[in-house]
A and B are shown apart, each in its own frame.
Chain A
Amino acid sequence: MYAQLVKTDGHGVKSLDEMDPQERAFQERIDDNQKIEPKDWMPEGYRKTLIRQISQHAHSEIVGQLPEGNWITRAPTLERKAILLAKVQDEAGHGLYLYCAAETLGVSRDELLAQLHAGKAKYSSIFNYPTLTWADIGAIGWLVDGAAIMNQVPLQRCSFGPYSRAMIRICKEESFHQRQGYDIMMKLSAGTEAQKAMAQDALNRWWWPSLMMFGPSDADSVHSAQSMAWKIKQNTNDELRQKFVDQTVPQAEFIGLTVPDPDLMWNEEKGGHDFGEIDWAEFYEVLKGNGPCNAERMAARVKAWEDGAWVRDGLNAYAEKAAARKTVTQTAAE
């Protein structure tokens, strides 16, 4: 998902009997659905895994602004522009909530950003695809935010208090994202032949990358069991992917678009859709940095960070000066 491939720290899932008393008490609190707060004792593996997961999630929100930001100046109407601006601003907020949640685990935001800029941290593979037409903005809201919501809703119940609270805020804000995207797709699908073709083309290009957002199939996701025991992951990748397909296919049908999968078929027995095999080779290539836009995204982030340095430093200098002046005035008055 936004955190697609989180390496879990821990050595296989221990049973309660194998744990020392402290760890056992910790696990029992989690089993009892109690929240873990930053100052509570926690196993190092739990802390490290969460830092990785939350920061991947945060990086995804921030990098995710880039493909959409690409269309802010070219939105077809002033209203669409204002909407897109508000959506992209929300994503910045989501990134900030999440960095702050990660910081409660004893890592600084600058450290996390440094890891991202050095290419050592992951973010969702989805943001390494280009936004070629206005319809891509519709497809992203509908599919990408739709997939994100599917993952984020259960994360509201995650065991770590600050992460859970950040997810609650984020989920409240997300639903408008998906609806504005679908709204764009609806408009285009009801438009001219060219507009309809543009919408279909966007769906063709975003469908498979959206399914990849849920991460590797359960058979290959080695880190799930421990994360599920810690309740920092609630559903398996395949469960959520299935839910997403079942939810989205009728929405595509409703606006007369075709999901680009010849194997897609309703399976009465399982009460869900069967669908084709995902190109996992492509998924791992994009994660490794070889997607169509990885280099461009990283370059844009690093440039933004470097170009903003003088502002951050300047405001620091101003704050220090103002504080010093205040001390002088106070001393003089005494």
Chain B
Amino acid sequence: MSKEWPLWEVFIRGQHGLAHRHVGSLHAPDAEMAVHHARDVYTRRNEGVSIWVVQAKDITASAPGDKGPLFEPSNSKVYRHPTFYDIPEDVGHM
């Protein structure tokens, strides 16, 4: 069997000036073809105005096991949220 094309992750910016969002992945021999394939596979119905592709092997992800140590420290910092502060209603919208 011949060599399989590498796997790419595809990110698309929707119509509304939003950030690029991960939509899925595909196989392609190189970056240029990956963009072409992404156009055909993920934007057949006007779903985007811009495409990013990146080889799956180049992505570094946090490990699911690290969830606790990575994200827990922020749980105790409730003062980062506006709802932490009691502002009298008379002050008006803030």
Contacts and interface: CB of A to CB of B under 8 A. Distances in A.
Interface in B41-55: 41, 44-45
Nearest to A99: B27
B17 interface: no
B76 interface: no
- Using C-beta atoms within 8 Å of the partner chain, give the interface range for chain B: 20 to 34
Contacts, number: 56
Contacts of A96: 26, 41
A322 to B, nearest CB: 7
Contacts of B64: 37, 39-41
A114 B29 contact: no
A39 B61 contact: yes
Given A39-B64, A40-B64, A93-B44, A315 B29 contact: yes
A77 to B, nearest CB: 22
B22 to A, nearest CB: 9
Given A39-B61, A39-B63, A93-B44, A316 B26 contact: no
Contacts of A312: 2, 5, 29
A109 interface: yes
Nearest to B62: A39
Contact of B29 (A41, A165, A169, A319): A319
Interface string A133-174: 000000000000000000000000000000001100100010
Nearest to B61: A39
A89 interface: yes
A39 B26 CA distance: 19
Contacts of B19: none
A9 interface: no
A97 interface: yes
A110 B63 CA distance: 27
B4 interface: yes
Interface in B8-28: 23-27
Given A89-B44, A309-B2, A312-B2, A103 B29 contact: no
20 contacts: A37-B64, A39-B61, A39-B64, A90-B44, A96-B41, A100-B26, A103-B25, A169-B23, A169-B24, A309-B2, A312-B5, A315-B5, A315-B29, A315-B30, A315-B33, A316-B3, A318-B29, A318-B30, A319-B30, A323-B30
Interface of A: 37, 39-41, 86, 89-90, 93, 96-97, 100, 103, 108-110, 114, 165-166, 169, 173, 309, 312-313, 315-316, 318-319, 322-323
Interface of B: 1-5, 7, 23-27, 29-30, 33, 40-41, 44-45, 61, 63-64
